[in-house]
């Protein structure tokens, strides 16, 4: 494969092409789903090969992708990518340019503890079946599902600057959910929440202790049917990791993707309230808030030794002591902003066009345990497990509902509330952060489903977070 990709690059090393890169991905994928205790689907797609060729000609990007590596297909792709760039340049005002990088090479091979593709299928189905059976309809539970998605992706990358990388990674996404119903209303509980993916293999099923938590989600889903809603206008809230990862994702992660500053996502995902002049001086959050993008940490799904336009993996401090310092960038956008590229250009598969994407996007830990933070809260709510998420196209006004809220009185959890909903304005919210738990609570929470771009791509990425407290947040939404 290395010889093939180098051969393609040699065909692109011509004087009319300013820059070009080629990616090839080979992906194995399995999705096993149980519904109400019964196997509903066992789907697999093995050895899915994709290739993408991107060229910069006359200052314009052209791209062609396919799922066919034949010589004929590759020649057609080269021709199509060049034609797309040439014709696209007929509708162009400012040419895409960026400085050259020193060529580099990288090799990375992740080995899971339990390879989901080579382990015994009986063993795999046995544990999944046991979990599915334990959550099947019972009492007020009227519906349940369990799903586990496994993915192995091998990627080859090369560009006309001479950079080359070859990586192999494994990702796994397990989740279970129960729905309870009574008197015309429904409630639901998931485990381990909507950010349950991670770098690794079948061992993640063990890590998340599904069987140890089935009883809990059944009880909580049942109890939620009779639980009250929050009635105050404002309250202090502690946000648990499973949901805080999404709060970080939506209101800081996407907001600091710098392609949005230039409107490259206006047609779909939206723009951002951030302007270039805010860099270095805008107070995004309280002094406690330190946020960074780090594609060098192999524990997260956002790890890579080189991104999809040849930039070596790196850590970038985006917010330091509450002040906005940097952005997630492509080489082109970084050049426009006078920044170093942050190694955030990624595509889901080789036949997708790379975009500015989050990698491992993290809130740095503070001090203390969650238990200590609850003890130090006179009155408030611990919210966790995302139910509804929504944010405006400037990433400024958000509203979230979690599956459950735990009411805190005098430093203790006293009861639960259903569908706790809070809303706010991004910088006001992060400035209301007065506590972040320490390293002992910090971990990665990851998703397969970050949608961006057109044609749409869903990216695998991670967020490192520890529970955090926010003061005086709007928690009342009249409906």
Partner 1 sequence: MQNILSHLKDTLNQYPDFKYSASLTLWQTDFLRFYRSQTNYNISKESTSLSVNIYKLKKAYSFSIDNPTTEKIDAAIKTALNVIDTLPEDPHFVDVESDPRVATPRTICNNILAIPLEHKTKILSRIAHSVEAHNFELFGTFICNFSSTTLINSNQLLKTGSYSPIYLEIKAVHRESQVTVMETFGGDDFAAFDLDDFEDRLLQKIAYTKNPITDVDAGQYDVILAPRCFAEFVQYLSYGMSAYALDQRSSYFEGKIDSKVFPEIISITDDPMDHELIRRDYNSDGHIYETLKLIDKGFFRSFMCNSYYHHKTGLPKNGNSALCLRIDHGNEALDEMIGQIKKGLYISSLHYMNFINPKETSLTGLTRDGTFLIEDGKITKVVNNLRFTERISRIMENTLVLENRAYTIPFSDNYDRFDIQTVKAPHALVKGFNITSSTRTI
Residues 78-117 binding partner 1 (CB under 8 A) are 80-81, 83-85, 87-94
Name the burial class of residue 215, with classes exposed (0-12), middle (13-18) and buried (19+) by CB atoms within 10 angstroms of its CB.
Answer: exposed
Nearer Cβ to partner 1 (101/142): 142
Stretch that binds partner 1, among 76-84, 167-175, 204-212, 228-236 (CB under 8 A): 76-84
**Is residue 63 a contact residue for partner 1 (CB under 8 A)?**
yes
Cα separation, 472 vs 22, in Å, equals: 50
Task: Please state the closest distance from residue 452 (CB atom) to partner 1, in A.
Answer: 9
Cβ of residue 333: shortest distance to partner 1, in angstroms? Answer: 12
Which region among 58-66, 282-290, 303-311, 322-330 touches partner 1 (by CB under 8 A)? 58-66
- Identify which of residues 45 and 413 has a Cβ nearer to partner 1 in the complex: 45
| Cβ closest to partner 1, residue 64 vs residue 416 | 64
Counting contacts by CB under 8 A, is residue 122 touching partner 1? Answer: yes
The 3-class secondary structure across 225-283, one letter per residue, is CCCCCCCCCEEEEEECHHHHHHHHHHHHHHHHEHHHCCCCCCCCCCCCCCCHHHCCCCE
Give the angle subtended at the CA of 56 by the CAs of 50 and 62, to the nearest 5°: 50
Query: Which of 97, 219, 266, 276 is in the footprint of partner 1 by CB under 8 A?
Result: 266
Q: Is 396 in the site for partner 1 (CB under 8 A)?
A: yes
Could you tell me how far CA 345 lies from the centroid of its own chain?
A: 14
Window contacting partner 1 (CB under 8 A); options: 202-210, 294-302, 306-314, 385-393: 385-393
Closest CB to partner 1 among 95 and 379? 95
Q: Which region among 153-161, 268-276, 322-330, 375-383 touches partner 1 (by CB under 8 A)?
A: 268-276
Work out which of 274, 345, 373, 391 binds partner 1, going by CB under 8 A. Answer: 391
Site for partner 1 in 286-345 (CB under 8 A): none
Binding residue for partner 1 (CB under 8 A) from 8, 12, 23, 62?
Answer: 62
3-state secondary structure 440-463: HHCEEEEEEEEEECCCCEEEEEEE
Question: Least CB distance from residue 440 to partner 1, whole Å?
Answer: 33
10 is an interface residue for partner 1 by CB under 8 A: no
Residues 216-255 that bind partner 1 (CB under 8 A): none
* Contact region with partner 1 (CB under 8 A), list: 237-245, 305-313, 321-329, 388-396: 388-396
Contact 462, 198 (CB under 8 A): yes
Q: What is the DSSP letter of 368?
A: S
Query: Per DSSP, what are the bridge partners of residue 425?
Result: 397
**If binding is defined by CB under 8 A, does position 150 make contact with partner 1?**
no
Cβ–Cβ < 8 Å for 296, 314? yes
Say if CB 374 and CB 413 are below 8 A apart.
Answer: yes
How many Å separate Cα 340 from the centre of its chain?
Answer: 23
Phi-psi domain of 307 (left: phi exceeds 0; alpha: psi -120 through 50; beta: other): beta
Single out the residue of 111, 146, 141 nearest to residue 125, CA to CA: 146
- Does 157 bind partner 1 (CB under 8 A)? Our answer is no
> Of 216-224, 266-274, 302-310, 435-443, which part binds partner 1 (CB under 8 A)?
266-274
Site string for partner 1, 410-429 (x = CB under 8 A): ---------x-x-x-x----
Q: Where are the alpha helices (DSSP H) in 295-408?
A: 331-337, 370-375
What is the maximum alpha-carbon separation in the chain? 71
> In this complex, which beta carbon is closest to partner 1, that of residue 174 or of residue 313?
174
Question: Contacting partner 1 (CB under 8 A), which of 2, 113, 268, 413?
Answer: 268
3 state DSSP class of 5: helix
User: What distance, in Å, lies between the first and last C-alpha atoms of the chain?
Assistant: 57
Does 369 interact with partner 1 (rule: CB under 8 A)? no
User: Nearest distance from residue 127's CB to partner 1, in Å?
Assistant: 13
459 burial type by CB count under 10 A (0-12 exposed, 13-18 middle, 19+ buried): buried
- Which lies closer to partner 1 via its Cβ, residue 102 or residue 275? 275
270 touching partner 1, by CB under 8 A: yes
Q: Which is nearer to partner 1, 282 or 389 (CB)?
A: 389
Phi, psi (rounded to 5 degrees) for 331? -65, -40
Q: Give the footprint of partner 1 on residues 33-52 (CB under 8 A).
A: 38-50
Nearer Cβ to partner 1, position 106 or 142? 142
Q: 202 to 221, contacts with partner 1 by CB under 8 A? A: none
Q: Which DSSP string do the residues of 322-354 spell out, in sequence order?
A: TEE---B--HHHHHHHT----S-EE-SSTTS--
| Alpha carbons within 13 A on the beta-carbon side of 304 | 32
Interacting residues with partner 1 between 445 and 474 (CB under 8 A): 449, 451, 454-456, 458, 474
Handedness of CA 122, 127, 131, 134 (dihedral sign): positive
């Amino acid at each position: 494969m290395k010889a093939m990709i180098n051969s393609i690059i040699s065909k692109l090393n011509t004087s009319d092409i300013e820059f070009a890169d080629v990616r090839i991905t080979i992906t194995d994928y399995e999705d096993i789903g149980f519904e109400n205790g019964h196997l509903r689907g066992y789907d697999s797609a093995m050895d899915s090969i994709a290739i993408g060729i991107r060229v910069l000609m006359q200052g314009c990007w052209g791209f062609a992708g396919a799922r066919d590596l034949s010589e004929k297909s590759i020649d057609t792709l080269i021709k199509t990518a060049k034609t797309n760039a040439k014709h696209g340049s007929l509708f162009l005002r400012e040419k895409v340019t960026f400085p050259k990088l020193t060529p580099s090479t990288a090799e990375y091979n992740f080995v899971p503890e339990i390879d989901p593709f080579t382990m015994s299928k009986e063993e795999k189905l046995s544990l999944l079946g046991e979990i599915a059976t334990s959550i099947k309809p019972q009492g007020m539970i009227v519906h349940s599902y369990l799903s586990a998605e496994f993915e192995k992706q091998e990627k080859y990358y090369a560009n006309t600057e001479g950079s080359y990388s070859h990586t192999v990674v494994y990702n796994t996404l397990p989740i279970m959910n129960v729905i309870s119903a009574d008197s015309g209303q429904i409630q639901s509980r998931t485990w381990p929440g909507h950010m349950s993916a991670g770098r690794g293999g079948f061992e993640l099923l063990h890590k998340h202790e599904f069987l140890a938590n089935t009883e809990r989600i059944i009880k909580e889903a049942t109890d939620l049917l009779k639980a009250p809603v929050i009635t105050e206008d404002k309250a202090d809230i502690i946000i648990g990791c499973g949901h805080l990862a999404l709060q970080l994702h939506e209101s800081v992660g996407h907001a600091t993707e710098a392609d949005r500053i230039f409107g490259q996502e206006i047609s779909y995902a939206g723009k951002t309230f951030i302007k270039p002049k805010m860099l270095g001086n805008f107070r995004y959050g309280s002094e406690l808030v330190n946020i960074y993008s780090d594609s060098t940490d192999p524990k997260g799904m956002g790890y890579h030794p080189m991104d999809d336009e040849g930039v070596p993996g790196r850590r970038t401090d985006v917010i330091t002591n509450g002040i906005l310092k940097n952005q997630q960038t492509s080489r082109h956008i970084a050049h426009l902003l006078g920044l170093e590229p942050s190694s955030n250009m990624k595509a889901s598969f080789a036949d997708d066009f790379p975009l500015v994407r989050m990698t491992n996007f993290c809130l740095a830990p503070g001090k203390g345990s969650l238990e200590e933070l609850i003890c130090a809260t006179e009155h408030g709510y611990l919210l966790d497990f995302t139910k509804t998420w929504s944010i405006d196209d400037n990433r400024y006004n958000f509203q979230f509902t979690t599956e459950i809220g735990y009411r805190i009185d005098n430093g203790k959890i006293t009861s639960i509330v259903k569908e706790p909903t809070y809303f706010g304005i991004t910088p006001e919210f992060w400035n209301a952060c007065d506590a972040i738990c320490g390293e002992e609570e910090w971990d990665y929470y990851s998703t397969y489903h970050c949608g961006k771009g057109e044609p749409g791509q869903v990216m695998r990425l991670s967020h490192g977070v520890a529970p955090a407290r926010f003061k005086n947040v709007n928690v009342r939404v009249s409906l």
